[in-house]
Amino acid sequence: MSITQAAPDVSGLIQTNRVHGSVYTDEALFQVELERIWYRGWVYVGHESEVPQKNDFVMKSIGPQSVIMTRDNTGHIHLLQNRCSHRGNQVCVREQGNARAFTCPYHSWTFSNTGDLIGFAFPDGYRDNPEADKKNLGLGTLPRVASYHGFVFGSFAAEGVSLKEHLGGAAETLDRLVRTSPEGEVEITAGFLKHRAKANWKFILENECDGYHPAFVHSSIFSVADSAIGTYYGDKSTALTRDFGHGHTEVDLRPEFRKADTPMRWFGTTEDRLPDYVAAMKAAYGDDKAREIMIDGTPHVMIFPNLFIAEIQIFVIQPISVDETIQHVTALQFKGAPDLNRRLRQQTMGSVGPAGLLLADDTEMYERNQRGAESLTPQWVFLGRGEQRERRDEDGYVVGHSTDEVPSRGIWRHYAELMGA
């Protein structure tokens, strides 16, 4: 996709602690975001455990585009664009399956699961036509595919920073995540729910590590679930917000969990409820390390621009248009932890399932944000909370209080860099 009109200049729309409301509502800006963020940088697509066998495939997306993630018969992962090179039909409509090849439903051209065109229907019509060279008529493929702990990212750009450079300090949060498994691996096998919101994707991106809202927006689930989590988002909390750079942000609840010094508190339970899991963790890591892991819990991290790891589940953000976004959500599952996994699925249903108590509240906020942003005045969104008490942690990352707007400021700093490029 190319931009035919002059790209909007974002420099006048983003300040250190303010953004102009039009960044959430401007259709032309959304098209530039697709080009400069979604179709250029690293974007999370899927997890290797979703295509465990040779020739498995699963339907994914990058922004509004449909992408097929395949594992070929040698075990390599490919990201294919779901667009027939004949007349543009979608070659795959199944959510997932196992197939060596995809046959387009329109005129039956057939493509291998690496994207190569392998056959025309009624081939006589192409014989002796030099333009009908199969080598030039494959599916579109993403030139760069890379994974970290099985999380597969793709980039439409043939060149650019490596995935490792893109993840930077946020890679450590994925290290922290996988060690919650006695086998050191996450599995994305619980199936996805899709939640559609009439809101710009950046309201969702910013909210994922906004520690200011939970005490108000989520007070009902905190009281029903009799959960201590609410206090971690109160003004006496020792939890932190962190800006890793590259747009990646975190709410780090470990200071509170360490203060409580109780294994499995991060999950709102106790060791005696999960005897098999606790035994497997101790066998895998030794008593002391297992205890430390079970106290610290899993991360709450937003990996720019679309992978949110929310302690017990992941959300994948898919922008559809300037004011419409789908969140794909699934329970995290940890290899070698069946008793923990069952509870992770139950808690996910209770919080972000169709009748869940958590996401519905957030979605109401997203949609009200969007409607509010359509109003003309005041023109700016103010993101200055905690600016005066920001500091650097021992690794050099900006941190603040759990309710401070460190994450939003970090996201916008990175966004301005990408959009000004």
Residue with Cβ nearer Fe ion (43 or 352): 352
- Closest approach, Cβ 80 to ligand FES, in A, equals 14
Both tokens of residue 405?
């707007």
In this structure, the number of other CB atoms found within 10 A of the CB of residue 216 comes to 11
DSSP per position, 278-347: HHHHHHHH-HHHHHHHHHH---EEEETTTEEEETTEEEEEEEEETTEEEEEEEE-EETT-HHHHHHHHHH
| Cross-strand bridge partners of residue 97 | 57
Q: What are phi and psi of 41, to 5 degrees?
A: -85, -175
Nearer to ligand FES, 91 or 251 (CB): 91
End-to-end CA distance of the chain: 17
**Count of CB atoms situated within 10 Å of the CB of 166:** 22
Q: Which of 51, 69, 49, 50 is nearest to 61 (CA)?
A: 69
Please identify, using beta-carbon distances, which residue of 61 and 85 lies nearer to ligand FES: 85
Is residue 194 involved in binding ligand FES (CB under 6 A)? no
* Binding residues among 110-149 for ligand FES as defined by CB under 6 A: none
Selected from 296, 362, 404, 405, the binder of Fe ion by CB under 5 A is 362
Give the footprint of ligand FES on residues 354-413 (CB under 6 A). none
> What does the alpha-carbon distance between residue 275 and residue 62 come to, in Å, rounded to a whole number?
40
Pick between residue 31 and residue 327 the one whose CB is nearest to Fe ion.
327
> Which residues from 297-326 bind ligand FES, rule CB under 6 A?
none
Contact in structure between 104 and 86 (CB atoms under 8 Å): yes
Restricting to residues 49-88, name those near Fe ion by CB under 5 A: none
Please tell me whether residue 84 binds ligand FES under the rule CB under 6 A.
yes
Given 87, 94, 196, 289, the residue binding ligand FES (CB under 6 A): 87
In the bound complex, what is the minimum distance in angstroms from residue 318's beta carbon to ligand FES? 24
| Among 38-46, 335-343, 359-367, 383-391, the segment contacting Fe ion (CB under 5 A) | 359-367
CB of 110 to ligand FES, least distance (A): 9
Closest distance of CB 120 from ligand FES, Å = 8
Identity of the residue, 61 or 249, whose beta carbon is nearer to Fe ion in the bound complex: 249
As measured in angstroms, the least distance from the Cβ of 25 to ligand FES is: 36
Minimum CB separation of residue 82 from ligand FES in Å reads: 11
Q: Toward Fe ion, which CB reaches closer, 364 or 374? A: 364
**φ and ψ at 59, to 5 degrees?**
-85, 130
Q: 48 or 210: whose CB is closer to Fe ion? A: 210
Size of the site for ligand FES (CB under 6 A): 9
Rounded to an integer, what distance in angstroms lies between the CA atom of residue 261 and that of residue 276? 21
> Taking contact as CB under 5 A, which single stretch among the options 22-30, 107-115, 276-284, 355-363 is the one that binds Fe ion?
355-363
The C-alpha atoms of residue 296 and residue 209 are separated, in whole angstroms, by 18
Considering the rule CB under 6 A, would residue 109 count as an interface residue with ligand FES? yes
Query: Measured from the CB atom, is 111 or 267 closer to Fe ion?
Result: 267
Within 10 angstroms of residue 212's Cβ, the number of other Cβ atoms is 19
106 binds, among ligand FES, Fe ion, none (CB under 5 to 8 A by kind): ligand FES
Smallest gap from Cβ 360 to Fe ion, in A, equals 10
| Residue 398 near residue 242 (C-beta atoms within 8 A) | yes
The Cα–Cα gap between 416 and 20 comes to 12
Binds 362: which of ligand FES, Fe ion, none (CB < 5-8 Å by kind): Fe ion
Q: How far is the CB of 88 from ligand FES (least distance, A)?
A: 6
Distance separating alpha carbons of residues 181 and 163, to the nearest angstrom: 23
**Which stretches does DSSP call E strand in 85-231?**
96-98, 101-103, 110-112, 117-119, 144-148, 151-155, 186-187, 193-197
Number of helices (H) and strands (E) in the chain: give both, helices first.
Answer: 13, 24
Question: Where does this chain bind ligand FES (CB under 6 A)?
Answer: 84, 86-87, 89, 104, 106-109
Question: Where does this chain bind Fe ion (CB under 5 A)?
Answer: 362
